[in-house]
Structure 1
Amino acid sequence: MRTIDDRSPDLVVLGENLDVTPTLPDGAFTVVYLDPPFNTGRKQRRHAVTAVQRDVGSPSTITGFRGRTYERVRGDLMRFDDRFEDYWSFLEPRLLEAWRLLADDGTLYLHLDYREAHYAKVLLDALFGRDAFLNEIIWAYDFGAKSRSRWPTKHDTILVYVKDPERYWFDSEAVDREPYMAPGLVTPEKRARGKLPTDVWWHTIVSPTGSEKTGYPTQKPEGVLRRMVQASSREGDWVLDSFAGSGTLGAVAHALGRRFVLVDHNPVAVDVMRRRLPGAAVEQQGTGA
């Protein structure tokens, strides 16, 4: 088991996240951010799924969504979309690990697109309890080609769940503020300070020519992740990203005085993070170096 404390280095790990996360201690992270691959090319495969209503308290069930067991909710959703099971079978164990790793006052941010967000919301309610749901954040942007056969899809969805609805940390005053959309309607003092963001975040994607660009194809902008870290953690807290990609969460955490563990199975991603985060220790799962 790895040690995560004040003396531990910031860490980047090359490895499969389901191999790495079990080596991390329970409740070590105040923020866990998951940005899994979007399910854009689901296979047309059918899996046999039995929706069994088990007794509450059975060792293999978790009671959640309106008292129905998790297995039943999962089975019902498979009836609506037989292609979904492949994706959820991939994501579910990683979410369970993320939940184990969350501190009692911790927050989970799950970043998805429109293809899976609605399925994930129902299943997360069943898995972790509806009371644990805090927000649906819409990250809206206006960049790239636009369809003329439907409304162009220009947003991602970030589902926010808290480990304990009575104890989670949230500091709205620490979050970067936005300019007022109608500045003439507020006082000069308010205009200078800006307004608190809502659950709709208008933020550009990473500029192809900007200094923030690393060249990694799925890179997310620092401004989006900074809000999560500012609101849901304190200086010195640990944050985790087990689909780390270009390491944006680590860059934000470092700038804000937080500590981080980043995991990715792609050597190219780890090379990007090594250059972007030169102060972090870099390991390969199974070698310790």
Structure 2
Amino acid sequence: MSPEPRRVTIHQADNLGVARALPDGAFTLIYLAPPFNTGRSRSHRPQAPAPSGAAEPVHAGFRGREYARVRGALREYDDRFDDYWSFLEPRLTEAWRLLAADGTLYVHLDYREAHYAKVLLDAVFGRDRFLNELIWAYDYGAKTRRRWPTKHDTILVYVKDPERYWFDSDAVDREPYMAPGLVTPDKAARGKLPTDVWWHTIVPTTGRERTGYPTQKPEGILRRIVQASSRPGDHVLDLFAGSGTTGAVASALGRHATLVDDNPEAIRVMRERIPHAHLGTLVMPRRADAAGIV
């Protein structure tokens, strides 16, 4: 028996303003799939060596000195680094504030930015908060013959508290064994738990879940995330909601969802896809300490 669909709130606004209006620790699961920044250029400039004997202290922690050191090093390496990270950093900072003590943050990127984000998120949040690097692999679309075709995205997973985070592997859908003849018939019939590499098609060009929105994520990917890292009745947040896959999946699984996007077309698609969703009425505060989930 499927759970009763839960409340979905859609905000049409800049996601940073909405995030600042939401209360601390309100969400067990936060999923972020920011723009992939495909147009960046890269250039290398050698770093000047530190003065002799002037060793910098290195320690992880939220916005600690290690973060400043790492960001400075990346700025030296890539003179367009700040164009992307200055946009993303405050949104990640707010997402971390909004995450519950037992919560999990998923940051979905492609190969152009994942390595930058991993190093910086370790420095911002602490390497001990890093849980997984998930690889979503697919095989669809054009393939170049001039290099290995790029057919995967990276999802970085961080937990607010390494001792308290919620993770329910039993709730996750199972998948077929790649070599079913090597396991017992019972195991082959039951399937195996997914690893950190997820083979899953993109949204089919025809099918029930297709909305036509260009960056739509498949429900199967979000279903696995929601099943593993939240419980029925929990609150889920997506600050780059796009076609609303996170909300559609979360609500169907009995979770509440808050979705944010400033694109009118995204709002139209979400409202059509999730008819029971309602538009939020947050009053944007001047400080990042206010309001409730409405």
Q: TM-score, normalised by structure 2?
A: 0.87
More deviation in 76-85 or 13-22?
76-85
SS of 2:94's equivalent? helix
SS of 2:207's equivalent? coil
Structure 1 match to 2:129: 132
Structure 1 match to 2:97: 100
CA distance change for structure 1 residues 252 and 83 in 2, over 3 Å: closer, same or farther? same
Q: Deviations over 1:41-76 (max 9, x none)?
A: 126799xx99999998xxxx98449x8521111001
8 Å Cα contact 1:238-1:258 kept in structure 2: yes
Q: Hey, what's the Cα distance between the residues in 2 that align with 1:51 and 1:234?
A: 50
Letter aligned with residue 165 of structure 1? P
8 Å Cα contact 2:60-2:127 kept in structure 1: no
Equivalent residue for 1:210, pick from 193, 201, 207 = 207
Q: Deviations over 1:22-49 (max 9, x none)?
A: 1111000000000000010126799xx9
Letter aligned with residue 11 of structure 1? T
Q: Hey, what's the Cα distance between the residues in 1 that align with 2:221 and 2:280?
A: 27
Q: Hey, what's the Cα distance between the residues in 2 that align with 1:193 and 1:258?
A: 26
1:185 aligns with 2:185: no
Q: Hey, what's the Cα distance between the residues in 2 that align with 1:269 and 1:51?
A: 48
Structure 2 match to 1:166: 163
Q: Hey, what's the Cα distance between the residues in 2 that align with 1:210 and 1:228?
A: 22
CA distance change for structure 1 residues 51 and 226 in 2, over 3 Å: closer, same or farther? farther
SS of 1:263's equivalent? strand
Q: How far is 1:103 from its partner? A: 0.2
8 Å Cα contact 2:21-2:283 kept in structure 1: no
Q: Hey, what's the Cα distance between the residues in 2 that align with 1:181 and 1:266?
A: 41
1:283 aligns with 2:283: no
SS of 1:12's equivalent? strand
Query: What is the count of residue pairs matched by the alignment?
Result: 275
Equivalent residue for 1:25, pick from 2, 23, 26 = 23
Q: Hey, what's the Cα distance between the residues in 1 that align with 2:55 and 2:147?
A: 42
SS of 1:138's equivalent? strand
Equivalent residue for 1:253, pick from 250, 253, 266 = 250
Q: Hey, what's the Cα distance between the residues in 1 that align with 2:135 and 2:60?
A: 28
Highest RCO, 1 vs 2 (Cα 8 Å, sep ≥ 6):
2
Q: TM-score, normalised by structure 1?
A: 0.88
More deviation in 156-165 or 186-195?
186-195
Letter aligned with residue 38 of structure 1? F
Q: How far is 1:283 from its partner? A: 3.2
Q: Hey, what's the Cα distance between the residues in 2 that align with 1:44 and 1:155?
A: 21
Structure 2 match to 1:154: 151
Q: Hey, what's the Cα distance between the residues in 2 that align with 1:29 and 1:223?
A: 21
Q: Hey, what's the Cα distance between the residues in 2 that align with 1:143 and 1:55?
A: 46
1:264 aligns with 2:261: yes
Letter aligned with residue 19 of structure 1? G
Equivalent residue for 1:200, pick from 188, 197, 206 = 197
How much is the aligned-residue C-alpha RMSD, in angstroms? 2.8
SS of 2:280's equivalent? strand
